[in-house]
Amino acid sequence: MFYINNSRPNKRGESPINLRVTINGESEVLSTQRTVSPDIWDSLNGHCFGKTAKAVEVNKHLDLIKVNAYNKYNEILGMYEMVTAKLLKDAILCIGTAQSKTLCDLWEDHVKSLHSMIGKGTSYGNYHKYRTGLRYMREFLLLNYKIKDVPVKLVNNHMVTKFDIFLQTNKKCSGNTAKKYLQNFKTICNIALKNGWLKLNPFAFVKLTLEEVDRPYLTEEELNRIIALEILMPRLEVVRDLFVFASFTGLSYADLFKLDKSMIEMDNKGVFWIRTRRQKTRVKTQVPLLSIPVALLEKYCDLSLLSAEDKVLPVMSNQKINAYLKEIQTFAKIEKELTFHVARHTFATTVTMFNGVPIESVSKMLGHKNITTTQHYARIVDLKVGNDMVDLANKLGGRFGQPSAS
């Protein structure tokens, strides 16, 4: 409804024309940016009397506002379950709350939130995955749709499927890696669903279960080869020592990076323990230190001289460590692809389970939330036992006769 505000006339005696929007009893008022003399205002019809130039111009302007208001109403109805007077007012004024939410903007907001929460509920690795996923999404939209962003209400199952194909073909992601980026995509869509910006769930019929894959680890002989390796370059020696330390503690890169004096304690038997919470899961983990990691600590620091917040090992970036491990892999003649995470797998298998440490203890030291995660390593041990029995059968051959029938 258009009406004039007689309480605020200007110097020419003209009153401002306002528009009142009322939906389900809720009202909002906005200015039409026009004024008119009360003498030519038709309060019943919300228009001006007469055919003067002023009356014609004002009436045309009000008609355009009215048409625009109805158009905006229909636009919002396509974005939200219900239109409110506030939403319609914002749409008419082109204020952001009524604009169509876009996928990349939502994703960008989530990335910024994760960055602010690093160390307070999330990890840098998680933030980095969402940031990389956003970059891939922008590349995908440009390549497939020739656009930089898309209204989130237009995201559908077909787009999800095409993004999956893009990840596995253009970005050369493995099936599991692609699924992890799709899981991030799904999180953004869930945010849109909860806020009413997206009506249908594009992931309703999409399964994102990760496929079980073999986790590489070093055998005892391979680990000993790295330990005994004579290295003349200081940078490679540091990386080798960090890898060996992780192989005997099960620490991931993120947990090793934040390891400081406060996380190392000595019990009443003189045994050093690492007591911390995993960066990734925040699960408490406690690992007693064997002689090799203790010796490495003594090589790089004197615990008695450190403050609680001082780092105990010279940990460089994960990218540099993995790059230098490729050189160590060559020098040690290791055929498996060597990455820092191989050390954690080696701890779970070669160092602990192959030596009879119960799976429950291994799970606690690894800081797994669920023992089913640790059971993957147990299956590797079972496979080793099976292979050993095959070797035993081959060695025994016909050395033992069959028992006679009774």
Question: Does 259 share its domain with 340?
Answer: yes
Question: Does 7 share its domain with 44?
Answer: yes
Domain membership of residue 129 as a residue range? 103-194
Question: Does 279 share its domain with 144?
Answer: no
Q: Show which of 160, 194, 228 is a domain's final residue.
A: 194
pLDDT-based confidence at residue 359 (cuts at 50, 70, 90)? confident
> CA Rg, the chain, in Å?
34
Q: Report if residue 401 sits inside a domain.
A: no
Cα separation, 261 vs 249, whole angstroms = 16
Question: Does 10 share its domain with 52?
Answer: yes
Cα separation, 339 vs 341, whole angstroms = 5
Q: Which tokens go with 211?
A: 């496929």
Cα separation, 178 vs 213, whole angstroms = 14
Total number of domains constituting the chain: 3
Task: Count other Cβ atoms within 10 Å, centred on residue 201.
Answer: 16
Cα separation, 168 vs 173, whole angstroms = 5
Tell me what pLDDT residue 98 has: 45
Which range has the worst mean pLDDT, 77-81, 210-214, 402-406?
A: 402-406
Checking if the pLDDT of 248 tops 90, the result is yes
Dihedral angle computed from the Cα positions of residues 359, 369, 297 and 262, in that order, rounded to the nearest 10 degrees: -140
Contact 334, 240 (CB under 8 A): no
- Using DSSP, state whether 299 is helix, strand or coil: helix
Give the mean pLDDT of the chain.
86
Question: Does 11 share its domain with 141?
Answer: no
Tell me what pLDDT residue 121 has: 75
Q: Report if residue 211 sits inside a domain.
A: no
Question: Does 240 share its domain with 385?
Answer: yes
Task: Count other Cβ atoms within 10 Å, centred on residue 224.
Answer: 12
User: What b-and-e string marks burial along 337-370, b requiring 16 or more CB atoms within 10 Å of the CB?
Assistant: ebbbbbbbbbbbbbbbbbeeeebeebbbbbbbee
Question: Does 259 share its domain with 283?
Answer: yes
The residue ranking higher by pLDDT, 362 or 346, is 346
Task: Count other Cβ atoms within 10 Å, centred on residue 320.
Answer: 13
Question: Facing residues of 264 across strands?
Answer: 274
Residue-wise DSSP of 55-97: HHHHHHHHHHHHHHHHHHHHHHHHHSSS--HHHHHHHHTT-GG
SS3 content of the chain, % helix, strand, coil (to 5): 55, 10, 35
Contact 79, 100 (CB under 8 A): yes
Prediction pTM value? 0.56
Question: Does 334 share its domain with 351?
Answer: yes
Percentage of the chain lying above the pLDDT 70 cut: 88
Checking if the pLDDT of 212 tops 60, the result is yes
Q: Which tokens go with 292?
A: 């090799």
Q: The CATH number of the domain where 346 resides is what?
A: 1.10.443.10
The residue ranking higher by pLDDT, 133 or 24, is 133
Region of 315 please: left (phi>0), alpha (psi -120 to 50) or beta.
Answer: beta
Which range has the worst mean pLDDT, 4-18, 97-111, 366-380?
A: 366-380
Question: Does 12 share its domain with 86?
Answer: yes
